[in-house]
Amino acid sequence: MKRAIFLCLVLFATFEVIYSKERLPAVINQHQPAIFPIISPDGSELYFTRKWHPDNTGGIYDDDDIWVSRKNGSQWGSPENLGEQINKKQSNSLLYIFPDGKKALVYGQYQTANENQIARATENNPCFAITKKIGNKWSKPEPLKIEDFYTSSKNYSATMSTDGRVIIMSLQREDSKGNLDLYISFYNQETKTYSKPQNLGNRINTNGVELVSFLAFDNRTLYFASNGRKTKGKLDLFLTRRLDDTWMNWTEPEPLDFLNSEWDENSLSLNITGDTAYFTSGDTLEKREGIYLAELPVEFRPLPYLIVEGKILTKGTNTNELVRQPVYFKIDNFDTDFIFYDTVENGLYRFVVPNKTQYNFFISAKGFYDYSFSTTSSKFEEPTIQTYDIVLQPQKEKEKLVGTILFQTDVDTLDRTAQEILKQICKNLKDENFSKLFFVGHTDEKGTDEYNLQLSLRRAKNTARFVANLLKIGEDKIEIEGKGKTMPISKDLAKNRRVEIFIIYNE
């Protein structure tokens, strides 16, 4: 394998340090231009965009598809196309992966004409969307609702804050100063909508192109590309840092000249500790665009932050076992509601929290006693990983699952099979001494969160009504809850479209 290493010099006050830029192997770069590299938080997967590849969804006429290469030891494996769930015949790119590795920001044609979205998509105006990872697959992207969203350019990019409440986008709008400017939108929890994009102003934007690359996990350090400043070539990479909580005041952008060259440096992302960059560039030997790797000098790295990660366990017979069910987190001193965290796949969790604050973590999972622990990031002077395994204690048995019935897609009524199962469950319940019956409705992953929540509630209500009539019990003996699509139990969608029936015993 041919590997080219190119040297650039960074001059300090008393000595000179050499930083290298290394082209990733041919398995990544050998075909059509590979751009927009995004490394997964655990470093095991590299996502990037391939242009005009024969295996793109639209073949050689498909401008952009998302591909992934998985690491086997120290070697990158053969890239795979993410498939038609994510990649459409129009342009698609993966732009940001959240620190937990379970959600990503993507761009593409993900809206249909009958969807009531504030960010309305057409063939020339696709949208930003969120996709969730289940195993090695990504779910159908759900478009973000952004007030007055539009852009006149076919070029695009975006990045987000670690909590998803802020999105920074490259757009061309009526108030743009150049071809593409950086804009920011803020999430409104009540309306579930992002605000109208605001231009980040003259300190960031120029008469040229500004292409946002990556907001570091400190939520303060922003990397972007520009050709509207003094550059070494075409688009060069720059760094700016946020000065306050308005998100509108930033430091004067600094060029990353140890990376910049006569080629286009138009995209960059960092590993989870912020010391290594994956970026697009070129070189005189290869004479073509590709993805490169480089260590960042300390002064160009993000500000300190804390990565809290570990396993979620429960005490087994002989050893601790992974908890493979949904878990809810609440972080004190952190502006967020309870965070649903799906540990079904691997029993792992990961959060990023800002520096110089103590955080209290509260964990809740069905069938277990609540758990809490505290941590502080004030003693760290660089991004730091802190591992904390959580061992949950099972609750004493106060309720028991007595049956599950399944539903067809988008249906909340009971078919004949479900009715027969419920009749048998009711026969079995006659000898049980219980205080209440608890009905929990669920859906598969198709559809929006709100629609699925209501569908799951209707399923639970209809099931409870049928059972109550058979047993001749009143509403005081019934509890219902809808979980929507938040608690899948299987990759088989049919098994997730269900109502679970529990009996709650007297204390």
Output the domain CATH number for residue 378.
2.60.40.10
Judge if 323 and 457 occupy the same domain.
no
Reported pTM? 0.74
Q: What is the pLDDT of residues 49-103, one digit of tens each?
A: 988 888 888 888 778 899 999 999 999 999 999 998 999 888 889 999 999 999 9
Q: Return d(Cα 357, Cα 241) in angstroms, integer.
A: 20
Cα angle, residue 296 at apex, residues 290 and 297 outer, rounded to 5°:
145
Q: Return d(Cα 430, Cα 158) in angstroms, integer.
A: 59
CATH code of 405's domain: 3.30.1330.60
Which of 259, 285, 300 is the last residue before a domain boundary? 300
- Cβ neighbors of 51 (< 8 A, separation 6 or more) are 32, 33, 35, 63, 64
Q: What is the pLDDT of residues 139-185, one digit of tens each?
A: 999 999 999 999 999 888 999 999 899 999 999 999 999 899 999 99
Judge if 285 and 361 occupy the same domain.
no
Judge if 225 and 310 occupy the same domain.
no
Judge if 482 and 371 occupy the same domain.
no
> For all residues of the chain together, what is the average pLDDT?
86
Q: Where in the sequence is the domain holding 382, given as residue range(s)?
A: 305-392
Q: Give the closest residue to 158 by CA, choosing from 213, 236, 99.
A: 213
Dihedral of CA atoms 361, 363, 369, 374 in degrees, nearest 10, equals: -10
Mean pLDDT (whole number) for 482-505: 87
Q: Give the closest residue to 141 by CA, choosing from 153, 132, 149.
A: 132
Paired residues of 68 in beta bridges: 47, 80
Which of 266, 300, 334 is the last residue before a domain boundary? 300
Q: Give the closest residue to 464 by CA, choosing from 454, 455, 449, 474.
A: 474
Judge if 170 and 292 occupy the same domain.
yes
Judge if 359 and 408 occupy the same domain.
no
Judge if 207 and 142 occupy the same domain.
yes
Q: Return d(Cα 139, Cα 429) in angstroms, integer.
A: 39
Mean pLDDT (whole number) for 206-235: 93
Q: What is the pLDDT of residue 334?
A: 60
Three-state DSSP class for residue 70? strand
Judge if 225 and 331 occupy the same domain.
no
CATH code of 177's domain: 2.115.10
- Look at residue 318 and tell me whether its pLDDT is greater than 90: no
Number of domains in the chain: 3
Judge if 209 and 70 occupy the same domain.
yes
Cβ–Cβ < 8 Å for 358, 376: yes
Q: What is the pLDDT of residue 339?
A: 60
Q: What is the pLDDT of residues 363-420, one digit of tens each?
A: 888 778 778 787 877 778 899 999 989 888 876 656 788 889 999 999 999 998 899 8
Q: What is the pLDDT of residue 122?
A: 47
Cβ–Cβ < 8 Å for 438, 404: no
Judge if 436 and 484 occupy the same domain.
yes
C-alpha dist (Å) from residue 416 to 411, 419, 456, 504 = 13, 5, 19, 27
Which of 325, 360, 392 is the last residue before a domain boundary? 392
Q: Which long-range contacts (CB under 8 A, 24 or more apart) does 79-84 make?
A: 79/27, 79/28, 79/48, 79/50, 81/53, 81/55, 81/56, 81/57, 82/138, 83/137, 84/57
Q: Return d(Cα 278, Cα 414) in angstroms, integer.
A: 52
Judge if 287 and 309 occupy the same domain.
no
- Look at residue 506 and tell me whether its pLDDT is greater than 70: no
Judge if 345 and 270 occupy the same domain.
no
Q: Return d(Cα 365, Cα 11) in angstroms, integer.
A: 53
